[in-house]
Each structure stands twice: as structure tokens, then as C-alpha cells.
């Protein structure tokens, strides 16, 4: 799939926001822990990806009711669904002047179309040393999910089945989708939110 940029201006993929709040003191402390000046851009991307994928739990996987949204909330509670985890990964990488955007898939929520669909969030990052954008998914691995960082062959958490009306959206967005942020801000129970309230289209 050919990816499409929402903006040709790389600065638009470096902006800080309420959700991508990399100036937060806890985020800054983690930045010092994870990164150093001798790392290449690829090493920094891989380090941040592995941290968010492996250290931050997916709320559904651990059956937690806690809802997080901003990067600092995700870090504080060490959990979030894909919408929230993608905010943290974007914050970490943007803090290092690495352009990072948001990508989406429309997937079956569970294992059959009858159980509904949801929008799934992941990230895209620009690797300056290779002059290319790649997608990566830090939602967290489990049985049947094996997302990896790769600069050659994309290995996401999920592959879409278009015959079952799943979709890969090709656009690399500058900011998180407003529907995904709204559901996080309105929800009080992550399990109920995941089962009933996730948007099913952009």
C-alpha cells in the first residue's frame, strides 16, 4: 500500500499538543532514560517502539478499566488502548525531532463481522537517514499478534481482510483522529468503552 501524507511539511509531524505532551516532566525523564546523542534515528525509533509496545500494557489485554489518553497519562499508568499508546510513541519520537504521524485500520472488533468493527490506531514515522516513511504498531504483542519494527518489510499487529470489509487507511495524519480522542475523554471504563464505544470509521 502506498502511504499518503496529510501534509508535505515535516514540521506538522513534530507538533506538541494536549495529547502529545512531550514537555511533561515525566515524559522528559523517560526521554533522558531512553535516548542519547550517539544513537542514530533508527536506533531511537526502535528504542521508543519497543518501550511502548512492551512496557506499556494494552488495557484490554490486562482487562483494566483505567482509561488513559495523553502521553503522560499513558506513561503514568503504564497502560492504554492503541489510541493512547500511539500518543505516547508520537510524543517520544517527536521530542527527538523525528516526524511521527498517525495511521488507522478498520478491523473486526472480535472474530466475526457480526460482532462489529472498530478503528485501530498505529503510527508512521519518517526515517531521515533512509528518506522513507514506515508504519509500525506498538499496541502490544500477545498470542496471534506479533508486531515488529522493520525498515524493510512491514510487520504490523493486524493485516486487513478486505473481503470482510476491513480497511487500511493510507493517510499519515498529523494529529490523532478526533473520534478516537473523544471516546477516550468521554469514557470512564476502558472495558465497556472497548466493547461498545469505539468508532468504526474515520
pLDDT of residue 64: 98
pLDDT in tens, 2-35: 999 999 999 999 999 999 999 999 999 999 999 9
pLDDT in tens, 169-194: 999 999 999 999 999 999 999 999 99
As a whole-number percent, the residues of the chain with pLDDT over 70 amount to 100
Please give the model's pTM, rounded to 2 decimal places: 0.97
In degrees and rounded to multiples of 5, residue 46 shows phi and psi of -65, -40
Cα(59)–Cα(83) distance, integer angstroms: 11
Question: Edge-to-edge, what's the strand order for the sheet holding 167-173?
Answer: 4-5, 167-173, 100-108, 117-127, 132-136
Instruction: Tell me the CATH architecture of domain 4-196.
Output: Roll (3.10)
pLDDT in tens, 71-82: 999 999 999 999
Every domain of the chain and the residues it spans: 4-196
Amino acid at each position: 500500500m502506498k502511504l499518503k501524507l496529510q501534509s508535505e511539511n515535516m514540521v506538522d509531524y513534530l507538533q506538541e499538543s494536549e495529547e502529545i505532551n512531550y514537555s511533561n516532566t515525566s515524559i522528559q525523564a523517560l526521554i533522558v532514560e531512553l535516548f542519547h546523542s550517539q544513537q542514530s534515528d533508527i536506533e531511537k525509533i526502535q528504542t521508543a517502539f519497543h518501550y511502548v509496545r512492551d512496557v506499556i500494557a494494552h488495557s484490554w489485554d490486562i482487562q483494566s478499566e483505567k482509561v488513559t489518553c495523553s502521553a503522560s497519562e499513558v506513561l503514568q499508568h503504564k497502560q492504554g488502548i492503541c489510541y493512547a499508546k500511539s500518543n505516547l510513541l508520537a510524543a517520544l519520537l517527536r521530542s527527538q525531532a523525528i516526524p511521527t504521524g498517525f495511521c488507522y485500520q478498520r478491523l473486526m472488533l472480535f472474530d466475526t463481522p457480526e460482532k462489529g468493527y472498530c478503528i485501530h490506531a498505529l503510527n508512521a514515522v519518517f526515517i531521515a537517514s533512509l528518506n522513507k516513511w514506515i508504519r509500525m504498531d506498538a499496541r502490544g504483542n500477545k498470542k496471534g499478534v506479533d508486531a515488529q519494527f522493520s525498515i524493510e518489510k512491514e510487520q504490523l499487529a493486524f493485516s486487513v481482510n478486505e473481503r470482510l470489509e476491513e480497511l487500511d487507511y493510507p493517510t499519515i495524519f498529523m494529529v490523532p483522529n478526533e473520534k478516537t480522542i473523544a471516546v477516550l475523554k468521554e469514557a470512564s471504563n476502558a472495558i465497556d468503552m472497548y466493547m461498545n464505544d469505539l468508532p468504526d470509521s474515520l
